[in-house]
Amino acid sequence: MSVSAIEHLQLQANGIELHLACEGEGPLVVMCHGYPGLWYSWRHQLPALAAAGYRAVAIDMRGYGRSSRPLSSDAYTLDKISADVLAVFDHFGEERAVLIGHDFGANLAWHMGVHYPQRLRGIAPLCVPYDMPLAGGSDVLPSQMFAAIAENHFFHMHYYQAVGVAEASYIGREREFLSKLFWALSADGELLSWENHPSEGTHYIDVLQTPESGPPWPWLSTEDMDYYLNEYLCAGLQLAFIGGINSYRAMDRNWQMFRDSAHADVQVPALFVGGAEDPVVKLGSEQDFVTMQERVKDLRGMELLPGAGHFIQQEQPAALNRLLLEFVQGLQL
């Protein structure tokens, strides 16, 4: 796939450097990836939004790709990441913009919908329902909830709390880890088999299902995987996956910092899209969707895409692009 029309910028903000991929002119639409992800995760959405008359910007979030990778998990709290996004708005001279987020980026979009509604025209969080307990919406400290689950079997959110363990386990196995994780979270893979593994002595990479073949897969080519791997490794082995790892470790601090606004209503226009075969969605419950409908006051759509796992913007780009464009165009920017 050609990405020759995309402009790449390095933005200095909040004491770090952010890498931005930009295409098009018009009202600003900003995209924030999750883990594993990069700006490149939005490679199918950038040209679609640009062609429809928008300035589409995909960020390498702090901790990823060509952006700075702070070592401390304190640098990955939602207030700091929100400030990064607002710096992008300011760079383009926009008081308000549309924010699309996937995975940890979806958590961020919900958070900003509560705390920065005046800066948002609308939000489109993908794959993580609003106020989902495992994403920080519990009334129990997240690490305590993760530890309770891990008493019964391996649980990745508990595993990531131990500093240094995950980082060491991936060294020399980076391609294997990315391939396994992309596959396990896709519509064709299997993630929840971790229930067959004990917590003690188990590494996440060894729980993940080995793909039957590839990549290439229909939604992820060998070249795509090479790009992901090279971008994760460009800051060195110790920092390869620090962004995602630290997002898990920051969950307790996020919970403590923002308890006063826990379960707050979201007033900005919102669209939720997930994958019908997404293991992350399956970790939740029907109640998560009921809660989202109750608390998101201008929820303009709630869709689960058939044939999509967790990586909906790559697995089913045409279907997702249609929904995103309908939502953004309906905001009458």
Phi/psi at 29 (5° precision): -125, 120
- Does residue 156 carry a catalytic annotation? no
How far is Cα 127 from Cα 192, in angstroms, rounded to an integer?
A: 16
Angle between helices 222-233 and 174-185 (to 10 degrees): 120
Which residues, 6+ apart, have CB-to-CB distance to 191 below 8 Å? 184, 185, 208, 209, 279
Peptide bond into 211 cis (omega under 30): no
Query: In the annotation, is 197 catalytic?
Result: no
Angstrom distance (rounded) from CA 217 to CA 213: 8
Q: CA-CA distances (angstroms) from residue 2 to 44, 59, 90, 223, 224?
A: 10, 18, 29, 12, 12
Q: How far does the chain reach from its first CA to its final CA, in angstroms?
A: 29
236 exposure class (CB count in 10 Å sphere: 0-12, 13-18, 19+): exposed
Catalytic residue among 60, 84, 103, 224: 103
**Per the residue annotation, which of 102, 111, 158, 310 is the catalytic one?**
310
Any residues with CB less than 8 A from the CB of 11 and at least 6 apart, and which? 17, 18, 19, 20, 87, 88, 91
Residues classed as catalytic: 103, 310
